[in-house]
Amino acid sequence: MGNRGNNEKSVPQLLISDLKFEKKSLAKLMFSPDQENHPSKAPVKYGELIVLGYNGSLPNGDRGRRKSRFALFKRPKANGVKPSTVHIACTPQAAKAISNKDQHSISYTLSRAQTVVVEYTHDSNTDMFQIGRSTESPIDFVVTDTVPGSQSNSDTQSVQSTISRFACRIICERNPPYTARIYAAGFDSSKNIFLGEKAAKWKTSDGQMDGLTTNGVLVMHPRNGFTEDSKPGVWREISVCGNVFSLRETRSAQQRGKMVENETNQLQDGSLIDLCGATLLWRTAEGLSRTPTVKHLEALRQEINAARPQCPVGFNTLAFPSMKRKDVVDEKQPWVYLNCGHVHGYHNWGNKEERDGKDRECPMCRSVGPYVPLWLGCEAGFYVDAGPPTHAFSPCGHVCSEKTTAYWSQIPLPHGTHTFHAACPFCAHQLAGEQGYIRLIFQGPLD
C-alpha cells in the first residue's frame, strides 16, 4: 500500500461501503426488465448471450443482429433439427446430391473418394439459434472479434478474424425447464455443415460420425452457478454433435482431446462460450431475474454522487458521469491511483515525466503507480451480485461490486491459440497487479 502521508489524517476517509444505501428503494429496482413488463404476456425467454468486452453496447451502437447482447426467445414455430438418415461411403457427387436436398445435413469428408453425410430432420420440440461471423440469414447473432478497449467498430475491422462464419448453434427445449445445449458449427445458407479433409473427425463407438471445427468452440461452466460463491470450472471443447472433450494442445491441432464422459453440452447460468476471437456469457432467464438491472446500477451511481466525494487536492466534488456518457472523460470524473486505491479528480500533482507520464505519485500515501479515470460497469449481466460499486479492475478502471471483481479476476479467458488470462468483462483488457482489482478509497466532503 506504500507509506501513508500526513495529509491523510486531516481528511475524512470514505469507502463506498460506508454509504447508507437505501435497501428498500433499491430492492424495487432488482427485478429484471421482464418482470417490469407484464410477465404473463411476455414470450418465454430461454436466456441471453452477452459478449465479453463491451460495456452495455457495441462502441458505435447496436445494430440489427450485430449487438453486444442477444436474447433467445421461444420461436412462434419450432425450427430445431435432429439427426436422422446416415449415408455412408458416398462419392463426392452422391454427397452433393444429398446435401442439395431441402433439408439440413452434415458432411464429413474422409477422403477424396469417400464422404459420410448425416441428414437432419425437423424437431418440433426444439428451437435452434445460430451464432457466427457471417451476416447471411441463417445466423441469428452476428459476432466479430473483440479488440480490448476498442472505442469504435473501425478498431476491430482491420484484424483478420479467427471466428468461424458459422461458429456454433444453440438448441433450446421448447418445454420447461427449457434446457439449452450448445454444438460446434452452424448450418450455412444451403442448410449444410461441411467438415473437410483437414478437419478433425472420427467415427464414434456406436458408429456415428463426429468432428471438431477448425478453431473449436470452447465452453466453461462455473462451479456453484453464477453467484457470489461461483468458482471457475474447467475449459472444454464441444464437438459438432455436442460431445465434450479436453482441450487440444493448440487451438487448431488435428488431434482431438480426450472425451469427458461425465460432462455435457448443457448450458447453465454463467457458462462461458469461446469462439476464438470473442467470448460469450450465457445467462438464463432465471439467473437474470436475480441480477441487478440498469435501473439498479443507475440508482447506485446516484447514491455515490449524492455522498459528494471530493478530490483531496482540488477539493472539488467528484461525480460519475451518466451511463449514456460512458466513453467521454468528464471534468468531474473520479480518477484513481491503482497502487493504493485513493480516488482524486484529475490533476497534475506528482506527474513523473521520466516514467512516460503513465506513473504518478499519490499525494495521500506517496505510492507511485498508474493513474486512470474510473468508469462504471454498465453491463448488468456481468454482475454476480447487487453490491455497491466499491472496487475497480486494474488497469482499466471499470468499477463494480467487490464480489464481481473477485469473480472475474479468477476466470482464465482464452487468448490467442493456447494461452489464457483474466480480463475485465467490460472492456476485455488483461488484468494487471497482484489481484487484478483494487478497493476504492474516496474522501468525504469536509463540511
The DSSP string of 193-229 is EEE-TTS-EEE-TTS-EEE--SS-EEEEPPBT-SSTT
pLDDT in tens, 211-267: 999 999 999 999 999 998 999 999 999 999 999 999 999 898 989 999 999 999 999
Q: Does residue 24 sit in helix, strand or coil?
A: helix
Res 64: pLDDT: 78
Long-range contact pairs involving 283-286 (C-beta distance under 8 Å, separation at least 24) = 283/47, 283/48, 283/50, 283/226, 283/381, 284/46, 284/47, 284/180, 285/32, 285/34, 285/44, 285/45, 285/46, 285/47, 285/48, 285/178
The Cα 23–Cα 62 span in angstroms is 33
Residues 6+ apart with CB under 8 A from 99: 105, 107, 117, 190, 192
Res 349: pLDDT: 63
CA distances from 86 to 76, 114, 116, 240 (A): 30, 13, 7, 15
pLDDT range class, residue 6, cuts 50, 70, 90: very low
Q: Does residue 89 sit in helix, strand or coil?
A: strand
pLDDT in tens, 399-435: 999 999 999 999 999 987 778 999 999 999 999 988 9
Region of 36 (left: φ > 0; alpha: ψ -120 to 50; beta: rest) is alpha
Res 15: pLDDT: 58
| Domains of the chain as residue ranges with CATH | 45-150+160-290 (no CATH), 294-443 (3.30.40)
The Cα 404–Cα 397 span in angstroms is 14
Distance of CA 350 to the CA centre of its chain: 37
pTM of the predicted model over 0.85? yes
